[in-house]
Structures are given as C-alpha cells and as structure tokens.
Amino acid sequence: MLNWIYEAYGRGFGPLRLFGSFFFLAAVGYATTAIATWVALPRLWDRLPKDRGRAFAVNAEQSVGKPLSAGLVFVSIFCLGALIFIPFQAAALRSLPFIFAAMLVGYLDDRRGGFSEYQLAAMDLAIALAASVAVLGLREWAIWLPGFKPAVLLSPWIGLPLATALIWISINATNCSDGVDGVSGSLTGTAIMILGALLYAVIGNADVAAHLHVPVNPEGADWAIMAFVMVGSVSGYLWYNAAPSQVLMGDAGSRPLGLMIGLLTVATGNPLFLLLVGSMILANGATGLVKVAVTRFLGIRVLAGIRFPLHDHARKELGWSNTQVLVRFLILHLGLSALLVILVLKIR
C-alpha cells in the first residue's frame, strides 16, 4: 500500500518518496510488525488454546498449560504488514493466502489435539503445490547451481514438483524443530533474514548478480521486504518465548514459517539454499522424518541411538540445558550458513 501511495502521490512530495525505497519499506516493516506483535500477543494469548504436552518429548511437562498457537497472532500481523509494505503488483503477495492457510491448518491441529500424520502431510502437500503454482506459474523455472555458470531452465513438469517438494520438506522440518524455548523461532528467523538479505543485495541486484554470474530476480527486493516483515513478527514473539517461555508458537507458527523459508528458497532460484541456510533446521527436524520413513516403510532401523528431534537428544543424552541448546544450535546455524552461502556464491 505504501508503495502505491508513493506511485500515486509521492513523486512530487519529498517525505512520501521514502515509500518508494525498498530498504525503507523493509526496515520500517520489520520494526512495525515487531512492535505490533510485542504489544498484541500478551493481550490475546489468554484466548489461545493451552498446550497439553507431547508424548515422548523431553521436559514436555514444562510446557503444559502455556498458551499455544501464538502463530495465529504473529502470522496474522505479518499478513497485514505484508499488504502495507509490499508493492501490490509483487508476485510475493500471491503467496499470502497460502501462508495464511498454513497458519490455519496449524491452528486447527493445535486446537483439536492433532490431525493424523497422513492428513497433515496431504494438507501440506496441497498448500505447497498451490503456493508453487502461484509463485512460478506454468512457465519455466531458471535455477542456478554451483559449478555451472549458465542457468538451468526447468520445464513446469520438473520445476513445479521440485519447488513443491522443497516447500513441503521445509514446512515439515520446521514443524519438527519446534520444542525448545526460542530455538525454532531463532533458527527460522535467522534463516529468513539471511534469505531476505541475499534476495535484496545479491539476487535482486542486477550489478552484483552479473558479477557473481547469478541469474537476477527482478522482484528480489519485494521478497526481501516480505522476509523482513516476517522476521519482525517473529522477533516480537521471541520476546515472550525466551526461556522460560510465556507462550508457544505451535503448529500455527511453525508451519507458515517453514512455508516462508521454502518460498524464499524458490525465489532465490537455487534449491540448495534450503540446505545452505536451513542446515540446522533440517538436521534438527528433517532427519527425524527420514528415520521414521525408513523404519516405517522399509523396515530398516537407522540412527537407533539418536533421539529426534536433535534438541531432545541434546537435552536427554548430552545433558544440555534449554539455553545451551539454543545458543549452540544458533552458533552452528550461523556458522554453517555463512560458510556454505559464501562457497556457493563464489563457486560458479
């Protein structure tokens, strides 16, 4: 909306010209949604469902009775913020209905005590496919990979299933990573922030992209605004989720956050970015999914001595406190992301 005001009225009026700056929109969007979430959440969390505890989760009893589904609040604030700060013509806005749908699926799962695994998998798949079609359309998807200077054009028959799989994995890995105060919000928030910075400064910048032989995304700045608006919402939530937490995001928060990471990965044009900036999210959550799938469908027991999610293994088997899990996972997350992203950008 602010960009529309700039286009309609701001070109000849000095202060309104700020509404045409993507950097200004991203920064103010972050601050606005952070403050809005910080103010709104404690006023609304008494109306949220309460956590009942999770079977087999370490220290699950510590969360029993706490307000759950904070994602219902901060994702709703994010959606309103996106409409205010992202240009109306941006392709990124076409993903908003699916982020909202992922939030609703998560909220219903939190409130009713859980859909079956297969029901959730099917709903996630439908949302991931619809979001992929909304963002990519039925055209070719240009991706780039380390070691190959030219872009690789994928037909819709290959590109859409690949994008759908990336988003589906991201949703479920992020959902499985939730369970320790501050961990899921911090890991996902930093992953989204890194992707947003790359889309703004590298992939959305024609000069930098040309220098690095990376295909430019003309709407990279739009996606960057969306990323920072979401990080602002998550920051407002983390204020109350710091150990010992007062409120939990639930599936209503983790599922749309995972969807956002998947969408931003698709926008970068490099499918490997899901691994590069989400390494600890995947290690914490997706490895457990692989273990369950291999054991259930192939009858092969793998990683039998490791608890999943990994944060449970760290607390139960290694004796780490919640704060140690948060700080150490975040250190690994930032270190791996910085190293891998730099390598991929330079190895062209």
| Domain encompassing residue 207 | 2-11+22-289+322-346
Is-above-0.85 flag for pTM? yes
* Nearby residues of 277 by Cβ (< 8 Å), 6 or more positions away: 191, 194, 195, 261, 265, 337, 340, 341
What value, to the nearest 5°, has the Cα angle with vertex 161 and ends 231 and 115? Answer: 65
> What does the alpha-carbon distance between residue 278 and residue 261 come to, in Å, rounded to a whole number?
8
What token pair was written down for 65?
Answer: 């009775």
| Percent composition of the chain: helix, strand, coil (DSSP 3-state, to 5) | 70, 5, 25
The answer to the question of residue 233 being in a domain is yes
Q: Within its chain, how far is the Cα of 204 from the centroid?
A: 19
The answer to the question of residue 209 being in a domain is yes
Amino acid at residue number 279: S
- In 3D, which of 132, 176, 181, 135 has the Cα closest to residue 158? 132
Tens of pLDDT, residue by residue over 209-268, are 888 888 899 999 999 999 999 999 999 999 999 988 999 999 999 999 999 999 999 999
* Nearby residues of 136 by Cβ (< 8 Å), 6 or more positions away: 156, 159, 160, 163, 266
* Nearby residues of 205 by Cβ (< 8 Å), 6 or more positions away: 216, 220
Which pLDDT does position 72 carry in this prediction? Answer: 97
Tens of pLDDT, residue by residue over 187-224, are 999 999 999 999 999 999 999 988 888 889 999 999 99
Which pLDDT does position 345 carry in this prediction? Answer: 81
> What does the alpha-carbon distance between residue 268 and residue 143 come to, in Å, rounded to a whole number?
8
The helix/strand/coil state of 220 is helix
What token pair was written down for 183?
Answer: 């961990």
pLDDT interval class at 108 (50, 70, 90): very high
The answer to the question of residue 217 being in a domain is yes
What token pair was written down for 69?
Answer: 């589904």
The answer to the question of residue 302 being in a domain is no
Q: Is-contact 95 130, C-beta < 8 A?
A: no
What value, to the nearest 5°, has the Cα angle with vertex 26 and ends 339 and 171? Answer: 60
Q: Is-contact 251 111, C-beta < 8 A?
A: no
pLDDT interval class at 283 (50, 70, 90): confident
The answer to the question of residue 195 being in a domain is yes
The answer to the question of residue 179 being in a domain is yes
Q: Is-contact 176 289, C-beta < 8 A?
A: yes
The answer to the question of residue 16 being in a domain is no
The answer to the question of residue 58 being in a domain is yes
Query: How many domains are contained in the chain?
Result: 1
